[in-house]
Each structure stands twice: as structure tokens, then as C-alpha cells.
Amino acid sequence: MKLGIRPTIDGREGSQSVRQSLEEQTMGMAQAAKALIEANIKDRDGNVVECVIADSTIAGVAEAAACQEKFDRAGVCGTLTVTPCWCYGSETMDMDKSTPKAIWGFNGTERPGAVYLAAVLAAHAQKGIPAFSIYGHEVQEADDRSIPADVQEKILRFARSAVAVGEMKGKAYLSLGNVSMGIAGSIVNPELFEKYFGMRCEYKDMSEIIRRVEKEIYNKDEFKKALAWTKENCKQGPDYYNGENGKDQAGFDADWEYSVKMALIVKDMMDGSQHLKDIGWNEEGNGNNAIAAGFQGQRQWTDFMPNADFLESILCSSFDWNGIRRPYVVATENDCLNGLSMLMGHLLTNSAAAFSDVRTYWSPESLERVTGKKPTGYAENGIIHLINSGATALDFSGQQQKDGKPAMKPYWEISEEEEKACLDATQWVPGNLGYFRGGGFSSKFRTMGGMPITMVRLNMVDGLGPVLQIAEGYTCDLGNDAAAIIEKRTDEGWPSTWFAPRLTGEGAFKDVYSVMAHWGANHGASVYGHVGAEFITLASMLRIPVNMHNVPEENIFRPAAWNAFGTTDREGADYRACTTYGPLYK
């Protein structure tokens, strides 16, 4: 991925050239921004995001056009304009409406960088091209080439979100099957993907997996490798559900083989496979250019075939039989809205995203009554139980570490020891034949407490369109005895996460019950870290309003034009701005 940097300058030349006196400082700002971004921002494959700088400073329309031609050739996914001085606003501005843009005006007294910033932002607002405003809190000396911390934070937040926009554009969501059990989130609406995310939808019947298994349209050598790895690393757990009606080990072994083939095949359907082309399956080998997928499963598949929990969990994790690698995004029950939530979180953090049912609110009183133990720490105000049999990435076990604490990390930071710890912390429980008549396995682990996480959900509302919900908080440790009691009465064969949202005392975050009561659907997606501010910035680029969040106001970073829609009610202003501008790819 690439970002463009546009150094704009005062164009007055002559015997006392204003432009000449500013060339070094202006290009210096561009180089400093490039160094900052390239040192801190990577794409989802771990590649450094390259910054492309205009060939010259930009003083007018001709140089702006030359810069745009260069950026078009390079394929930049967003632009940052930098300047220490006055420039000619509408003559130097970035007019491309298809990419996010930000402007950094140097806070100094010698030249009016802030005046240009205000003037060009007014032009952006007037022309309907939103731009983010970046302006340091403190005055700097003219020869100060450093980037203040507050400016760095905004540049990096903009860059990270713009790269996410770019990574989604032109990719596909692969819908395997259709609507699962009447879940509205699995109604895959191509208009949403096309207009808001720049993506397309590809629809394949689940029978395609059966065809590929029966016709052996998969890499047989990789299957042998994957099955051996699975037998060695994926511990089969006890059958909690089925008693004498359960399968014998021969039946479990058959389910393991089919589950591994399903994972291989879905991976091929998303990415494509050169091996399939080499053995004569060229069409199948092309794949679907999918950056995310969903699998319907229930019930038309799971009533007679092994469930998709293994393929969802293992693909969404940061490792498999080929070692540590980039996690995939595969949504349980083909809930594409949760899949998009997972995708945004994955792209903002470069780490795995977890899919969960937002299952139960537990008050402190209920916890103490049922478990005999009064909750403490993060759980003292109550918790929300996140639990689901499907695409809960094994990373969410919390067995990776940062600074000695549980974490989820980009795959290139994960060690083999951490991979093994995640696998060792997970059992694979034979599926409940009441739910999954065809069998299969469900991952089971308990997320370690103390991890900062952000739970999000994209919802669709008739007459309004997509809206995003955000809840920052922490995972909790209830203790083994209390956790086991709750799991046994809920579902002891599925992975559990105890989530305590950070409370504000107001609105939807007045208390934990209110968070649960305001959540817009039965599913949520969670990623590591408190990254609600990044979600808000990304949502504003896509023109998706945020209807619920607990991000401190000083961390909210949206395009400057949002201020024109109201400054006292920022949530309402967000709705009005998104409605006025419409989706990014309308």
C-alpha cells in the first residue's frame, strides 16, 4: 500500500523569492512525515506502507495536476498535504474525491501555515471533499524539523485508517451459502459493500465444498500436512453433549479429515491456488479475490455435514499447518455485518479478530449469587459473556504477550512459543448433535483476563443505512471455579470471554447493563487494544456514523467539515455529515 505526500508552497517568485526561501522547510516536512509513517505503519501482510512524495513542491494547478498524475500511477490510497506557509488554497488542493485526505499546517509564527490550513479546509468543505485537519498545539520554531507528539498521533491515525480503506477497495466478500437461521446480518447486500467499502460480493453455494471434496479439487500434499499438524496440535476434548448417542472415534476421525479439507478449500476459494491451476483446475485456482468471507452453516449444511467451526477458528487465527501467517476473516453464520466489523478491526490492528455471540449480561449480584464469589477488578461492575462456537480466533485465548501481559499481536510479532501456547490452551470439543446434526468440532478456551480489547458491530437500519457501535473495555478473569460454573450453565464446550466495557456513567455506558441493552445485534467482533478512536476515524472516511462509543472526546478525529454540522452534539453532527456526503463510493 502507498500514501501520497503533497508539499504545498507559496508560489511567489522573483528577485526576493518567497518560494525559494521555503523550499527546504516544505520538503523537510514532507520527508519527516514520510519517515514517521514508514517507521510506524504496515499493511496487513507486514509490508511497510510506502510514502510517495510529489516530484516538486506544489504552488499551483499545474504542479497539483502533475502530482496527481504521479499518485495515480503509484496507486496511492490516501494523501497528506503538508505546508509551513500560505499557499493558494483551491489551486493547490487535492481534488480527487475517491481517496481520504489530510492537511498538516505547521504551527509557526514566521509564515501563516495555519492560515492556509483554514483556507484550504474551507475550500474542501465548499467543494464537498472532506479533509482532516492537523495542527500542532504548541508553536514551533521555524527551523524545528521535529513532529510534535500530538501531530504524530493524528498523522498516524489518519494513515492507518486510509490504508485500511485502500486495502478493502477492489476486494471481495465471499458469501458461502445464504441466510443462516433468519439472522439479518447474513443478508449479504451488495449495495452496502460497493458504495461504502469499495468491495464486491461473490456468492457461492456451500455445495461447492462437497464438489471439491468429491472431485479432489484441493492440494493433496497440503491436506496430508494439514491433517498431521492438526492431529499433533489440536487436542480433541471431551464430548460434553451427546452421551451414548455421540460418535465413536472413527466418526470423529472422519470429521477431522473433512473439517481440514473444508479449511483448505475455503482458503483456496478466497485466495486462489497456483497448485490447482497446475493440476488442471484453472477456474477454481483463480479464487475470488476475497479479503473476507462468511459461511452459512446452519442449518442446511450442519444438519448433515460437519460444522465449519474448525475452518472458521483456524483460518481466523494467525497460524496453521503452514506456520505463523496473516489471519483470515471468516464470519460465522455468514453474518457479513460482523464480518465487516472483523475486517475493519483486523486492518486497523493487523491482528486477528474474534467473532462472538453477545450472550449474557451478568450483574455483580448475579455473579455472586450463582458462583458464590463477589467479582473484583475489571469485573466489579458486571460483565458481558462473549461466547460462540465458530470463528473465535485462537489468538483470543490471550496466550501471546506484550510487556509480560496477555495480548494479541500482528502475525510477524508472534513467536513459535506463543503459537504453541494458543494451541495448548485450546481443546476441540465434539459438536453438540442437537445443534450440529452432522457433527464437527467446536473450539474451547477461556480468554485470559486483563487484555484491553475493543468490541464493535456494524448494523444496518432501514432509512438510515450502516451505523457502527464501539465499546472499549477489558477481558476479565473470574477464577477457574466461578468460570466453570457459568460455562456449565451456558455452554461448556465453547470458548468464553468475560468482557467488562469501560464505563462513562452516561448514556449507553452508564453501566454494563446499558451497554448490553444498547447493542444492536446478537453478534460482536473484538480486536486487541483500545482502538475505538481508529474505528471512528475510519468510519468517517467511509461516511458511516457511529451511534455508540466510549472513546474520550479529545481522541475523536474526523474531517474538519464535520464541525460545520454542529459542535455541541458531535454524535448528531456525525450523522448529519455522513448523510450529507453519502457513501465514499456513491
Same domain for 182 and 101: no
Give the HSE-up count for residue 471: Cα atoms under 13 Å, Cβ half-sphere: 31
Q: Is residue 77 part of a domain?
A: yes
Q: Minimal CA–CA distance to 527: which of 399, 353, 398?
A: 353
d(CA 113, CA 328): 43
Same domain for 138 and 184: no
Q: Give the pairing type, strands 452-461 and 546-548.
A: unpaired
| Confidence band for 113, pLDDT divided at 50, 70 and 90 | confident
Same domain for 183 and 134: no
Domain that holds residue 250: 172-581
Same domain for 88 and 198: no
Would you give the end-to-end CA distance of the chain in angstroms? 23
Q: Is residue 181 part of a domain?
A: yes
Q: Is residue 409 part of a domain?
A: yes
The domain boundary, picked from 168, 185, 203, lies at 168
Same domain for 153 and 58: yes
Same domain for 231 and 253: yes
Q: Is residue 406 part of a domain?
A: yes
Instruction: Read off the pLDDT of residues 128-177 as tens digits, 9 standing for 90 and up.
Output: 999 999 999 998 888 888 999 999 999 999 999 999 999 999 999 999 99
| Residue 145 pLDDT | 86
Look up cell 507486514; give the residue.
46
| Residue 481 pLDDT | 96
Q: Kindly tell me if the per-residue pLDDT of 391 is higher than 80.
A: no
The domain boundary, picked from 141, 168, 195, lies at 168
Give catalytic residues, as residue numbers: 333, 357
DSSP-derived secondary structure letter, 328: P
| Confidence band for 112, pLDDT divided at 50, 70 and 90 | confident
Beta strands in 462-522 (DSSP E): 465-475, 496-501
Same domain for 131 and 98: yes
Q: Structural domain tally of the chain?
A: 2
Q: Is residue 206 part of a domain?
A: yes
Same domain for 509 and 424: yes
Express as a percent the part of the chain with pLDDT over 90: 95
Mean pLDDT along residues 320-348: 98
Same domain for 217 and 356: yes
The domain boundary, picked from 145, 168, 191, lies at 168
Instruction: Read off the pLDDT of residues 232-288 as tens digits, 9 standing for 90 and up.
Output: 999 999 999 999 999 999 999 999 999 999 999 999 999 999 999 999 999 999 999
Q: Is residue 586 part of a domain?
A: no
Q: DSSP labels for 259-306?
A: HHHHHHHHHHHHH--HHHHHTT-HHHHT---EEEEEE--TTTTTTTS-
Q: Minimal CA–CA distance to 118: which of 561, 566, 541?
A: 561
| Confidence band for 390, pLDDT divided at 50, 70 and 90 | low
Same domain for 193 and 128: no
Q: Kindly tell me if the per-residue pLDDT of 49 is higher than 70.
A: yes
Same domain for 357 and 208: yes
Same domain for 291 and 254: yes
Specify the CATH number for the domain of residue 95: 3.40.50.1070
